[in-house]
C-alpha cells in the first residue's frame, strides 16, 4: 500500500506497478539465544521501485528485517507527462 499522504487523491484509485526489485546478498548466520530468539536476523535489504499510473508518482519500497517502508522519489526525478 502507498501511504495516503503522498498522492493527490489520498491514495484512492492509485494503480501502482512494481518494478524489478533488488536484494542485497549478505549472509547472516543465525545465532539463537537460550530463548530460541535469533540474535542475528537476516537484515538484507530488498528495494522495489513502484510507480503509480494514476498520479504519476514514483516510490521506493524497502524491506529489511521484516519491516517495509515506502519512500517517495523526489519530484524532480519524475518525468513530466505531456499526453492525456
Ligand atoms: Zn497515485
Model pTM above 0.85: no
Cell matching residue 27: 549472509
Q: Distance from the CA of 8 to the center of ligand 1, in angstroms?
A: 7
pLDDT in tens, 9-57: 667 788 889 999 999 999 999 999 999 999 999 999 999 998 888 888 8
Cell matching residue 23: 536484494
Q: Distance from the CA of 51 to the center of ligand 1, in angstroms?
A: 8
Number of domains composing the chain: 1
On whether residue 46 sits in a domain, the answer given is yes
Q: Distance from the CA of 31 to the center of ligand 1, in angstroms?
A: 41
| Domain limits for position 33 | 4-74
On whether residue 84 sits in a domain, the answer given is no
Specify which residues 17 forms β-bridges with. Answer: 51
Single out the residue of 63, 61, 65, 76 nearest to residue 16, CA to CA: 61
Amino acid at each position: 500500500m502507498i501511504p495516503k499522504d503522498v498522492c493527490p487523491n489520498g491514495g484512492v484509485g492509485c494503480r501502482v506497478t512494481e518494478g524489478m526489485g533488488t536484494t542485497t546478498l549478505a549472509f547472516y548466520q543465525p545465532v539463537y539465544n537460550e530463548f530460541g530468539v535469533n540474535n542475528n536476523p537476516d537484515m538484507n535489504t530488498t528495494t522495489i521501485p513502484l510507480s503509480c499510473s494514476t498520479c504519476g508518482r514514483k516510490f521506493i519500497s524497502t524491506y529489511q528485517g521484516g519491516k517495509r517502508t515506502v519512500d517517495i522519489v523526489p519530484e524532480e526525478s519524475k518525468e513530466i507527462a505531456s499526453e492525456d
